[in-house]
């Protein structure tokens, strides 16, 4: 099959490149550790000129040979590459936002290869406490393209990670979202606080310790909030109830449990109903498995995992932007 698009998911720590054929079929993909905060530094010749620009170097490494073979391929990129610290800033679009809104708002930069790189803007939710996303909007839109219009009314899309996002959708649009810094705070506590002093890396996932953490968050002991229960990750170790290798998974369950308990409460309040929405998860399979386990404990009955959300979203945005022939659908 002939390639029709190069799609880049360019974040803070990594760069994923996809060569896509008709209908967004993935022909080839690559993953590099060349996120915007750790770009290559060794100069090399690009298009006959010596180059030391990290963005150019990373772009050439990711897909230079693909463009050598097919110089006419359009390129689209999402993620932190469009931030103020990125290659070219793509201003946030306000909610509600859909494929057409974002596809018509791409920013471009011309690379040393004379290739136009089209950069997807992020999404901002303006309120007393503003909320933003970059990259996640593309994944969400990739999921929405495969849903019936009526499916979004009882649906929440979750993107677990350093900054977990929970996205409400309606009529093919991103309408509202919440952010929980669970992953980043877990890393900080494990690496830079007293809680990490007694932790040891376990060889396998300790499901029992994780479940215990979730249940503590959901119990009366957790009603005062996550700050009231965090110290138990240390005290249960000091009293011999948690082994050193179980403490990290207990802390993970505790924090994810608090996140999802808050999520369930706010969803019931917003919907004025005891009924909780169906969940579609996007992201790392191991992390999504943890969240799926905790979501079940929190009363979210229907949880599914989306695949190839980023690639599908970038393909749809390229179509909306007119980068592809409509017959490529």
Average pLDDT, stretch 102-130?
Answer: 97
- 227: which 2 tokens? 């700050």
The CB-side HSE value for 125 (13 A sphere, CA atoms) comes to: 19
Q: Which residues contact 308 (CB under 8 A, 6 or more apart)?
A: 24, 26, 142
By the 8 A CB rule, do 99 and 32 touch?
A: no
What's residue 147's pLDDT? 83
Indicate the helix (H) or strand (E) that contains 116: strand 116-119
Mean pLDDT (the chain, rounded): 95
Res. 152: pLDDT tops 70: no
What's residue 100's pLDDT? 96
What's residue 21's pLDDT? 97
Residue 74 CA from chain centroid, whole number: 24
Q: What are the pLDDT digits (tens) for 230-277?
A: 999 999 999 999 999 999 999 999 999 999 999 999 999 999 999 999
Helix axis angle, 182-192 to 247-271, nearest 10°: 150
Q: What are the pLDDT digits (tens) for 274-309?
A: 999 999 999 999 999 999 999 999 999 899 999 999
pLDDT band at residue 149 under the 50/70/90 scheme:
low
CA 52, CA 20: separation in Å to the nearest integer?
29
Q: What are the pLDDT digits (tens) for 19-57?
A: 999 999 999 999 999 999 999 999 999 999 999 999 999
Res. 325: pLDDT tops 90: no
What's residue 154's pLDDT? 85
What's residue 328's pLDDT? 59
Average pLDDT, stretch 10-27?
Answer: 97
- 132: which 2 tokens? 């933003």
Total Cβ atoms within 10 A of residue 297: 17
- 260: which 2 tokens? 């999802």
Helix (H, G, I), strand (E, B) or coil at 185: helix
Average pLDDT, stretch 202-226?
Answer: 96
Average pLDDT, stretch 208-233?
Answer: 97
Q: What are the structural domains, with CATH classification, of the chain?
A: 5-132+312-328 (3.30.420.300), 181-298 (3.30.420.310)
């Amino acid at each position: 099959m002939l390639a029709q698009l190069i799609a880049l998911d360019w974040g803070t720590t990594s760069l994923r490149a996809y060569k896509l054929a008709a209908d967004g079929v993935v022909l080839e993909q690559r993953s590099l550790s060349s996120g915007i905060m750790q770009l290559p530094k060794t100069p090399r010749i690009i298009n006959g000129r010596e180059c030391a620009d990290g963005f150019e170097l990373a772009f050439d490494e990711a897909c230079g040979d693909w463009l050598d073979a097919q110089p006419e391929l359009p390129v689209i990129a999402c993620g932190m590459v469009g931030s103020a610290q990125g290659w070219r800033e793509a201003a946030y679009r306000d909610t509600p936002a859909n494929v057409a809104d974002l596809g018509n708002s791409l920013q471009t930069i011309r690379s040393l290869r004379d290739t136009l790189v089209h950069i997807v803007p992020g999404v901002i939710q303006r309120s007393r406490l503003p909320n933003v996303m970059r990259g996640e909007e593309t994944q969400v839109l990739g999921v929405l393209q495969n849903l019936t219009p009526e499916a979004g009314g009882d649906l929440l899309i979750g993107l677990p990670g350093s900054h977990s996002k929970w996205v409400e959708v309606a009529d093919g649009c991103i309408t509202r979202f919440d952010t929980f810094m669970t992953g980043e705070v877990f890393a900080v506590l494990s690496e830079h606080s007293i809680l990490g002093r007694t932790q040891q890396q376990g060889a396998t996932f300790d499901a029992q310790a994780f479940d215990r953490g979730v249940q503590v968050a959901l119990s009366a002991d957790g009603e005062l909030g996550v700050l009231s229960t965090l110290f138990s990750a240390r005290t249960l170790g000091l009293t011999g109830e948690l082994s050193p290798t179980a403490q990290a998974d207990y802390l993970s369950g505790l924090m994810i449990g608090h996140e999802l308990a808050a999520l369930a409460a706010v969803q019931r309040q917003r919907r004025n109903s005891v009924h909780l929405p169906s969940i579609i998860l996007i992201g790392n399979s191991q992390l999504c498995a943890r969240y799926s386990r905790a979501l079940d404990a929190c009363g979210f009955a229907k949880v599914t995992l989306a695949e190839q959300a980023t690639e599908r979203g970038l393909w749809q945005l390229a179509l909306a932007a007119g980068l592809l022939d409509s017959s490529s659908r």
